[in-house]
Amino acid sequence: MPILEIVFYLFSTVLIGSALSVVTVGNPVHAALFLVLSFFSAACIWLLLQAEFLAIVLVLVYVGAVMVLFLFVVMMLDVSAVRPRGGFAAYLPVGLLVALIMAVQMFLVIWTRGLETQLMPEPRPEGYSHTSEIGRLLYTDYLYAFEIAAVILLVAIIAAIALTHRRRPGTKSQDPGQQVRIIREERVRLVKMSPDGEEN
Amino acid sequence: MIEQLLTLVWTVTKIMMIVLPITIAVAYFTYFERKVIGYMQVRRGPNRVGPLGLLQPFADVFKMLFKEIIIPTNASRFLFLLAPVLALAPALTAWAVIPFDDWLVLANIDAGLLFVLALTSMGVYGILIGGWASNSKYALLGGLRSAAQTVSYEIAMGFALVGVVVLSGTLNLTGIVQAQSGSVLSWFWLPLFPLFVIYFISGVAETNRAPFDVAEGESEIVAGFHTEYSGSAFAVFFLAEYANMILISALAALLFLGGWLSPFQGLPVLGETFLGAGGIHWFLLKTAVFCFLYLWFRATFPRYRYDQIMRLGWKVFIPITIVWIMVAGLFRVLGWYGA
């Protein structure tokens, strides 16, 4: 099946190209859009591995929600005011260090799995459901890890709210409960008027 | 190689057989909208072009196509032209997994429901990018409003769908409809009634339609994200919006009203006639009902205030959905509904 390999290299090229563009383009909005493109290409590569659940969740969470909020913030910045100091070269050493650490981590993960040099996995048998297989593993073999990850996320949510939520004096807000509780009779008074303007 | 090429040609033919009817449906949806709202406001609506005004949508399309696309000064030209495409592509792609009948589906994939959810959430990029690339404050504000609204209501929508998944036990759309087989009472609208209502209202909010259309609130920000668009680029945004509305309607019909299943299923009198047996006509009819609801809402409700939209999404819908997911789980454990 040469077509699968062509598609794989196509998506990999787009992925690497867009990932490089994220750090090299000057405009932060363009950088965020390139990040979206690289997430999307990664999802497509996962689809080639028949990991459809993971691919769709990657698009749903990162492309559909996280990056929308990223763009939301970046678009409100004044682009000309936030030109990075020193440009690309100033951040290069730190970036290279992070990249090196990540490369070592990935190498260790793959190395412990026995370095299988396999380009494409064997096609799954008919009727194999990747989605239900992940669900089964998550809720049986890896239940504790899954629950711990969930608790960590919950703590992060609560911490984020606790850090940013503060009552500032002087802000004006409406109490929806009060708005809902109003009665028509308290607000509206129907008045019968005679034609000459006398209230009767 | 020849075999792969044939598969490709056949797939493209099937895609055209879905996309063309959707485009026609969008054209007549706009006609239907103007007629319905017209009669609700004691007017007649379009009635000059063709008999009963039936050629009005085509007149509109040709008018749009012959207009000039004006690109504003200092607009980001590439993104400005890319945005309508990014809005339309997910709206059409999502139809790939929609089953029209028991066997009539382009791609019967395992995680179809997630696929639809992922694609509907991507539609916001077109609006967001279009708003930013226009280099106009109205367009930017419209785009930002739309993004915030879509992200907020997506959570309620996703939770509403979790209830459906709990009862049907599958993410496959064909499987979800088959799990509702029985009668009107075994469709998921009954056990999941709050989720059904929340799903459709969130769908209206996610497509930025009245009464949640602050993204193009003309009283404050001219026309919102498409203020600077004209001609065919504007028409593509329009096409995407209406294709999304029909998609949300179709999903509501599939997930809560039993898709192509007949409401008279199992009645011995009707048997296997077109009334008793399920078929695409039932699916289209149910979809049309939800499409009509969109128009009814637009003619009835005044626009929500922005903070009210956010409150409704976060503080009302999300708690209700979380509670009802547990109720759905209870139904499942007790064996009242679901396989």
Residue from the list B79, B110, B128 with its beta carbon closest to the beta carbon of A68: B128
Chain B 35-94, CB below 8 Å of chain A: which residues? 79
CB-based contact A58:A46 (threshold 8 Å): yes
How large is the C-alpha radius of gyration of chain A? 28
Arithmetic mean of pLDDT over chain B: 85
Instruction: Determine contact: B117 vs chain A, CB below 8 A.
Output: yes
- The pLDDT score that the predictor gives to residue A1 is 57
Question: Is A160 strand, coil or helix?
Answer: helix
The residue type at B83: A
Lowest mean pLDDT among A75-84, B34-43, B97-106, B196-205: A75-84
What's the sign of the alpha-carbon dihedral B264, B270, B273, B275?
Answer: negative
CB-based contact A49:A121 (threshold 8 Å): yes
CB-based contact B110:B120 (threshold 8 Å): no
Answer yes or no: do A63 and B118 touch at CB < 8 A. Answer: yes
Question: Is B263 strand, coil or helix?
Answer: coil
Distance separating alpha carbons of residues B16 and B336, to the nearest angstrom: 41
Burial class (CB in 10 A: 0-12, 13-18, 19+), A80: exposed
> Is ipTM beyond 0.90?
no
Nearest-Cα residue of chain A relative to residue B82:
A33
Instruction: Determine contact: B225 vs chain A, CB below 8 A.
Output: no
User: For B105-121, what is the mean pLDDT?
Assistant: 84
pLDDT greater than 80 at residue B293 = yes
A152 or A93: whose pLDDT is higher?
A152
User: For A27-46, what is the mean pLDDT?
Assistant: 88
Chain B 141-170, CB below 8 Å of chain A: which residues? 143-144, 147-148, 150-151, 154
Distance separating alpha carbons of residues A151 and A132, to the nearest angstrom: 23
CA A195 from centroid of its chain's CA atoms: 66
B247 pLDDT tier (thresholds 50, 70, 90): very high
CB-based contact B18:B95 (threshold 8 Å): yes
CB-based contact A34:A21 (threshold 8 Å): yes
- The pLDDT score that the predictor gives to residue A154 is 95
The DSSP code for B53 is: G
CB-based contact B128:B119 (threshold 8 Å): no
pLDDT tens across B189-234, in order? 888 899 999 999 999 988 888 888 887 777 777 777 888 888 888 8
pLDDT tens across A2-15, in order? 777 888 889 999 99
pLDDT greater than 90 at residue A65 = no
- The pLDDT score that the predictor gives to residue B292 is 92
- The pLDDT score that the predictor gives to residue A86 is 58
- The pLDDT score that the predictor gives to residue B199 is 93
- The pLDDT score that the predictor gives to residue B270 is 64
pLDDT tens across B259-282, in order? 888 877 767 666 666 666 777 888
